Structure 1
Amino acid sequence: MNKKKMPMAIGILSMNFLVMSASVVGAAIAAIAKSFPKESISKVQMLSTIPQLGQVIATLLFTWLTYKLTRKNIGLLAILFVIAGGLLPVFFNSDLNIILACMIAIGFGTGLISNIGPVLVQDHFEGEERATVMGWQVGFNNIGMMAMTAIGGALGSSNWRNLFWVYAVGVVIFLAAYFLIPQDKRLTHETNKEGKPSMWATLKNVNKMAYIYLAITFFTSIAMTMFMANQSIVLFGKGLGTGYTGLVTAVGNIGGILTAVFLGKIRKFTKTNTIAYGFIAFALSFVCVLFFNNVVMHILGNMFSGMGIVLINATIPFELSNLADKLEFPLIISMNTLVSSIAGALAPVILAGLHISVGEGQFVGGIILCGVIAVLLFVTRLGKITENAFITNKKA
């Protein structure tokens, strides 16, 4: 990568450190429940799930915001929401409803970051540099979750209220984004290449192949849910407990991080079939956990899972950025985020409707789903078709 662009990349990537920060509070659910004995445990547990509401709101408003603010300023606004939502419970923590509202604010901020990050990368990077930085974004998501969970847990070990001090790191990230990301111009509806002032008119101009990638996002979220929601059940059936599952999951995260770091080199091998190889990795994650009974294979399975997530979730935004111009991309990336959220929420309902049993049944289903999608991607050569479409559009 051009050394002149590295500081800008750091500024953009620093925001991804916060993307999964809402998960920090999950470690303190039990302690918080003791502080609110009159509240139901289900309401306390909402601290872990209600940020998703903020993320959905952010996704629905994101495209509209791109016409009101510059991309950089949207990123700065997002960080401020995370800082405010994260630090307010340090001082106002006697009412659970206030803390829940703060978690919605955190979710709103992280939802904006999830959407604006790829858009900023599209603005400032081209070709394989863009693909590499988008891969790093997924890696920074995981690193941020691990670091903030560990630091937050240490801060809140004596008093859960101190856990929220971990969000002070947002101040540093705000400064990095402010000074390292160049200011851009606010989009206007009139910049549409056909001169149409409607966002829906913009949507009509999007290459129809983008919707294929939205479908892939949907099935990716289903596969992720099948793995993450059933691994503990499968391992429990092998006589292995919660601590063991946490261990192999934590160590297995290294697979996703390493894949993100070396994505540029990996793509030299996978080329236009990167997503297909991602689904192969996903299929292997199910295989390693289901058919083997030793810690090495279980860690390897979780590493394959992380690898698949990065290969797929970093490549889909990259391909969408090639299919959509700077006016269309904010709209299509917000749709991608929304589809992912909807699929994650509906996955249990869909799987139950298909009468696929939990545990081993859904692991077998995951192998079949990922295998079929990988074969379809190889046979249809979707990646190559997308590349040719991008080259044709660029020439035009």
Structure 2
Amino acid sequence: MDRNKKMVTFAVMSIFFVAMGIGTITPAIQNIAEAFPEIDFNTILLVSTLPSLFIIPSTALSGMLAGNKIGYRTLVITGLLLFIAGGAAPAFMNDFASILISRAVFGIGLGIIAPLGNALVLRLFEGQARANMLGIGGVVMNIGGIAFQMLGAILCSINWRYAFFGHLLGIISLLIVLFMLPEPEKQEQAAGVKVKMPFGVYILSILFGML
């Protein structure tokens, strides 16, 4: 593999790495509940669950726009900026409603990022290399989830606010994308050919939304 291909691979893997960053503050839930004793615990749990609700529509929107209306790099960078800013901002907040708003922003950012790792693999690699990258991407994504959650656990043992700083790990991915990720060539759709979304995709989306 030449140096340029290695850089592209590294950049794409950095996107997979942050895709499971939603679990970063899960270990800090009890600490956050103790910091806001006047708020019902079920409401406190929204800090962890609210982003998931915003991931769903932003993932769908990102998938529709990527490579069509907006470039892949632009979407990845936008998603990472929202991931970092929305993820870390609650560390500086005392108002719980503001924390939830930041978590929503974080969810939007993560939703934008979520489909782009696989999309970039399909655009930038071919044949067996593509299959290998998709498999490795899944492994890296889970490694990232473990890393983010462990970092959040370590930081929250110092102070509940610090757990949110775990999202700053996304800065590394942002820098890698900025300097190493190329914009895939735009593929023109054949005239008169319409690509239809398989019906099963809608069913799965509805089921995931309900879940």
Q: TM-score, normalised by structure 2?
A: 0.89
SS in structure 2 opposite 1:50? Answer: helix
- 2:91 maps to 90
The corresponding residue for 1:192 is: 189
Q: Which has the higher helix share?
A: 1
Following superposition, the deviation at residue 344 of structure 1 comes to 4.1
Q: 1:171-186 maps to which residues of 2 (within 5 A)?
A: 171-184=171-184
Amino acid in structure 1 at the alignment position of 2:131: A
Write the distance in 1 (CA, Å) between the matches of 2:113 and 2:134: 13
CA deviations on 1:284-343 (whole Å, 9 max, x unpaired) are: xxxxxxxxxxxxxxxxxxxxxxxxxxxxxxxxxxxxxxxxxxxxxxxxxxx5xx765543
Q: Which residue of 2 aligns with 1:373?
A: none
**Within 5 A, what are the aligned runs for 1:142-291?**
142-184=142-184, 191-194=188-191, 202-204=194-196, 211=198, 215=200
**Residue 343 (1) aligns with residue 207 (2):** yes
AA aligned to 2:191 is: E
The answer (yes or no) to whether the contact 1:69–1:186 under 8 Å persists in 2 is no
**Separation in structure 1 between the aligned mates of residue 203 and residue 123 of structure 2, nearest angstrom:** 23
Counterpart code for 1:72: R
Does the CA-based 8 Å contact 2:24-2:167 persist in structure 1? Answer: no
Residues of 2 paired with 1:55 and 1:69: CA distance?
19
Asked if 1:25 corresponds to 2:25, the answer is yes
TM-fit CA distance, 1:134: 0.8
Please tell me whether the aligned partners of residues 47 and 100 of structure 2 are also in contact (alpha carbons under 8 angstroms): yes
TM-superposed CA distance for 1:203, in Å, is: 3.5
- CA distance 1:79–1:107, change in 2 (3 Å): same
Offset at residue 194 of structure 1 (A): 2.2
SS in 2 for 1:61: helix
**Distance in structure 2 (CA, Å) of the matches to 1:346 and 1:53:** 10
Q: Could you tell me how far apart the structure 2 residues matched to 1:132 and 1:155 are?
A: 34
User: For each residue in 1:262-296, what CA deviation from the matched residue of structure 2 results, as whole angstroms up to 9, or x when unmatched?
Assistant: xxxxxxxxxxxxxxxxxxxxxxxxxxxxxxxxxxx
Please give the alpha-carbon distance, in whole angstroms, between the structure 1 residues aligned to 2:124 and 2:91.
Answer: 37
1:81 paired residue number: 82
Structure 2 unaligned blocks of 5 or more? none
- Structure 2: how far apart are the matches of 1:148 and 1:120? 23
After superposition, the C-alpha distances for 1:39-93 in whole angstroms (9 at most, x for unaligned) are: 11111111221111121121231244223311111111111110111111122x2
Residues 81 and 339 (structure 1 numbering): CA distance in 2 closer, same or farther, change over 3 Å?
A: farther
Say which SS state the counterpart of residue 192 (structure 1) adopts: coil
Aligned residues: 210
Cα distance between partner residues in 2 of 1:7 and 1:142: 21
- Looking at structure 1, the residues matched to 38 and 154 of structure 2 have their Cα atoms a distance apart, in angstroms, of 27
Name the SS for the 2:24 alignment partner: helix
Deviations 1:215-242 (A, max 9, x none): 4xxxxxxxxxxxxxxxxxxxxxxxxxxx
CA contact (8 A) 2:21 2:145 kept: yes
CA deviation string 1:186-231 (max 9, x = no partner): 67xxx431257xxxxx443x6xxxx3xx74xxxxxxxxxxxxxxxx
Contact 1:151/1:166 (8 A) holds in 2: yes
* Corresponding residue for residue 120 of structure 1: 120
1:111 Cα deviation from its structure 2 partner: 1.7
Change (3 A) 1:113 1:83: same
1:129 deviates by 0.4
Task: Tell me the CA shift for residue 183 of structure 1.
Answer: 2.6
Which residue in the other structure is 2:111 paired with? 111
Farther off after superposition, 55-64 or 146-155:
55-64
**1:100 correspondence with 2:97:** no
- The alpha carbon displacement at 1:345 in A equals 5.2
- 1:143 Cα shift? 0.6
Identify which of structures 1 and 2 has the higher relative contact order when contacts are C-alpha pairs closer than 8 Å and 6+ apart: 2
Does the aligned pair in 2 maintain the 1:70–1:186 contact within 8 Å?
Answer: no
- Larger of the two Rg values belongs to structure: 1
Contact 1:86–1:103 under 8 Å retained in 2: yes
Q: Indicate conservation of the 8 Å contact 1:71/1:186, yes or no.
A: no
